[in-house]
Amino acid sequence: MHYSERLLGYVKRAEQSTQAAKERALREFGLTPAQQTAMAILSDHEGITGAQLARECAVTPQTMNSTLVRLERRGIIERTPHPMHGTLVEIRMTRAGRKVFAAADARVAELDRALSAGLGDDELATLKELLGRVTATAKDQ
């Protein structure tokens, strides 16, 4: 079987093309897909630590730290010591960060709708279920 016919080939091409579309959508906000993903998790888990955020984003703590440094330099996030546990550092979006995130996330939601526009509700549900199963199986390999 040729690589282009393998499941891995289809998954890779889908991932590459959707990530490229996401990069283009986020460019006007000066964000990378990784930064937007971190901000999406921060929006749901205000005060999370860098280590927790790295786990949620499935990246190394070092990679997450680089992402956070860039966001902090832009004034999008702030890191402050935990009030009870001085060695822990909590991460929060700033007011400016929440504004940038809201606009960028709305654009990503538009992209998500556009990517799924050619699918019916049942097809979309099936695609998500199948991709979830492939993901779970891959974790076991």
Name the helix (H) or strand (E) containing 53: helix 50-57
Q: Above 70 in pLDDT, residue 86?
A: no
Question: What's the whole-model pTM score?
Answer: 0.84
| CA 109/CA 101 separation, integer angstroms | 12
Domain ranges of the chain: 3-140
Task: Give the tens place of pLDDT for each residue, 60-77.
Answer: 999 999 999 999 999 999
Joined tokens for residue 46: 């205000």
Is 41:56 a contact under the CB 8 Å cutoff?
Answer: yes
Q: What is the pLDDT of residue 132?
A: 94
Task: Give the tens place of pLDDT for each residue, 7-61.
Answer: 999 999 999 999 999 999 999 999 999 999 999 999 999 899 999 999 999 999 9
Better-scored residue on pLDDT, 1 or 120: 120
Task: Give the tens place of pLDDT for each residue, 93-114.
Answer: 999 999 999 999 999 999 999 9
Closest of 79, 78, 71, 92 to residue 29, by C-alpha: 71
Closest of 12, 11, 82, 20 to residue 47, by C-alpha: 82
Calculate what percentage of the chain has a pLDDT beyond 70: 98
| CA 107/CA 111 separation, integer angstroms | 6
What does CATH list as the number for 3-140?
A: 1.10.10.10
